[in-house]
Amino acid sequence: MAANKPLTGIELIDCAKANSQELVDIVASRCGYGENVSLFEQELKKSCQEIGIDLDSFYDLKQIEQQRFLKTKKAGVEIAPDTYREL
């Protein structure tokens, strides 16, 4: 669901993180920036700097979230039968 007005600050960061698996133009729209991807990235960078995070673009945030996902995925334990017949 797209925001009614452009998000800023921590709300913008949270929205961008929650949608990090999408393309940047989709995330910009969902965060209330419509088709203005450059303004979205500018505001995202500004919001991150305000809380002490060095971020150059949405792509950087996307990489961070992918790495975090892979770490949590590796930390879990997978329990499954040896074969499909044992289901």
CA distances from residue 83 to 49, 50, 78, 80, 86 in whole angstroms, order as listed? 50, 52, 14, 8, 6
Give the pLDDT score at 51. 92
Domain chopping of the chain, boundaries: 9-86
Instruction: Give 23-82 pLDDT, tens digit per residue.
Output: 999 999 999 999 999 999 999 999 999 999 888 888 888 887 877 777 776 666 667 777
Give the pLDDT score at 57. 83
Give the pLDDT score at 53. 87
Q: Does the pTM exceed 0.75?
A: no
Instruction: Give 69-84 pLDDT, tens digit per residue.
Output: 777 766 666 677 777 6
